[in-house]
């Protein structure tokens, strides 16, 4: 069962879905096989959680100034 943690932005919701379908594990394994240190998921999540993105302002009420 998935923990019900409040999302702060689109990045959190995408991370929840990828974790639920185990895509995060697959992405990590593939990136390691290709020689990368990380799959970039954490950086992507952080970038998609920025409050200045329009999707976060509209759907997550992240209109911090």
- pLDDT interval class at 63 (50, 70, 90): low
Give the pLDDT band of residue 54 (cuts 50, 70, 90). Answer: very high
Q: What is the pLDDT of residue 3?
A: 62
The pLDDT score that the predictor gives to residue 64 is 59
What contacts 59, CB < 8 A, 6 or more positions away?
10
Model-level pTM? 0.81
What is the predicted pLDDT for the residue at 61?
84
User: What pLDDT shows up at residue 43?
Assistant: 96
- Report residue 16 as tokens: 């929840």
The residue count of the chain comes to: 65
pLDDT of residue 38: 92
């Amino acid at each position: 069962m998935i923990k019900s943690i409040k999302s702060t932005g689109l990045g959190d919701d995408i991370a929840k879905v990828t974790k639920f379908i185990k895509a995060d594990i697959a992405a990590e394994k593939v990136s390691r096989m290709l020689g990368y240190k990380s799959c970039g998921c954490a950086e992507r999540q952080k970038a998609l959680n920025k409050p200045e993105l329009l999707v976060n302002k509209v759907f997550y009420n992240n209109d911090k100034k």
